[in-house]
């Protein structure tokens, strides 16, 4: 090999080596680029997941939110949006809307539950009565549609055991117990309140000093006597001196002052 040829060969070889090196660098560059891409993608995903987890945790917190009233921890029983309307009419002709949602709060007795907006007015009313030396017992409050069905079935079965036909028993029972979906108790706004010393739901209840006080003061707290005496043809429910319904102060004042029913008020 002549020196010139050798130089030519060397040049060629050098070119080849340089080309190979360039290729290697490019491949390495591309590799690094792809790797960083994957890393960024994975990092992003994990951050996203973390954010998602944080949102879920917040939702859980809202769900498990505890209501603090007078140092006592109360549970927020149901999740869901509050859509309670204070003057919602629920009677034999007007069932509870299918999409009705209510936020319920457990009352200080630890048993009964009330719709969020009725909670404080109810507590205030009972406390005011207690200051006058009265003792109340809430014997019925929020009732789910399922529970209403159970109560109705129990009452119908009792009458059927006494010889009533199903139809007769149903008609008799629904004079006082509403069919499921038609009870005001499923709104969370209705409460049966009796005297602690007389817990019977009969004509004697209105003679107790607790009931006399409730009937004359309930409107101050936004409550009405829902099934008054002499209005049975309008309410389609026998007189119930113990059943109080939250409608808000404005409606309550008008209804109680004028001795009318919620049905009549809504027709005005």
Q: How far is CA 235 from CA 13, 92, 118, 168, 208, in A?
A: 106, 8, 22, 21, 24
Question: Which of residues 65 and 174 has its CB atom nearest to Zn ion in the complex?
Answer: 174
CB of 81 to Zn ion, least distance (A): 26
CB of 261 to Zn ion, least distance (A): 15
Please report whether residue 113 would count as binding Zn ion according to CB under 5 A.
no
Question: Which of residues 231 and 243 has its CB atom nearest to Zn ion in the complex?
Answer: 243
What is the CB neighbour count within 10 angstroms for residue 198? Answer: 16
Question: Which of residues 117 and 192 has its CB atom nearest to Zn ion in the complex?
Answer: 192
CB of 119 to Zn ion, least distance (A): 17
Here's the x/- map for Zn ion, 164-193, by CB under 5 A: it reads as ----------------------------x-
Q: In sequence order, what are the beta bridge partners of 67?
A: 74
Q: At 98, give phi and psi (nearest 5°).
A: -60, -30
CB of 156 to Zn ion, least distance (A): 18
Which stretches of the chain are DSSP H helices? 3-63, 116-131, 145-161, 166-173, 209-217, 232-235, 249-258, 262-267
Q: In sequence order, what are the beta bridge partners of 88?
A: none
Question: Cα dihedral angle (48, 52, 57, 59), rounded to 10 degrees?
Answer: 150
**Footprint on residues 193-252 left by Zn ion (CB under 5 A):** 243
Question: Which of residues 74 and 192 has its CB atom nearest to Zn ion in the complex?
Answer: 192
Binding site for Zn ion (CB under 5 A): 192, 243
């Amino acid at each position: 090999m002549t020196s010139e040829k050798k130089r030519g060969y060397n040049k060629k070889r050098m070119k080849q080596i340089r080309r190979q090196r360039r290729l290697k660098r490019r491949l390495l560059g591309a590799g690094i680029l792809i790797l960083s891409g994957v890393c960024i993608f994975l990092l992003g995903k994990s951050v996203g997941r973390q954010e998602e987890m944080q949102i879920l945790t917040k939702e859980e917190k809202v769900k498990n939110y505890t209501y603090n009233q007078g140092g006592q921890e109360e549970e927020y029983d149901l999740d869901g949006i509050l859509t309670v309307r204070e003057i919602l009419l629920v009677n034999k002709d007007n069932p509870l809307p299918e999409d009705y949602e209510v936020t319920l709060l457990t009352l200080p007795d630890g048993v009964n539950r009330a719709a969020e907006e009725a909670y404080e007015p109810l507590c205030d009313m009972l406390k005011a009565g207690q200051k006058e030396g009265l003792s109340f017992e809430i014997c019925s409050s929020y009732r789910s549609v399922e529970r209403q069905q159970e109560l109705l079935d129990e009452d119908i079965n009792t009458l059927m055991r006494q010889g009533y036909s199903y139809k007769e028993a149903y008609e008799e029972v629904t004079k006082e117990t509403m069919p499921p979906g038609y009870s005001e108790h499923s709104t969370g706004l209705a409460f049966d309140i009796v005297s602690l010393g007389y817990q019977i739901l009969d004509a004697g209840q209105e003679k107790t000093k607790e009931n006399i006080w409730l009937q004359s003061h309930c409107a101050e707290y936004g409550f009405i006597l829902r099934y008054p005496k002499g209005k049975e043809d309008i309410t389609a429910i026998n007189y119930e001196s113990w059943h109080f319904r939250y409608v808000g102060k404005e409606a309550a004042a008008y209804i109680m002052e004028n001795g009318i029913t919620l049905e009549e008020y809504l027709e005005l």
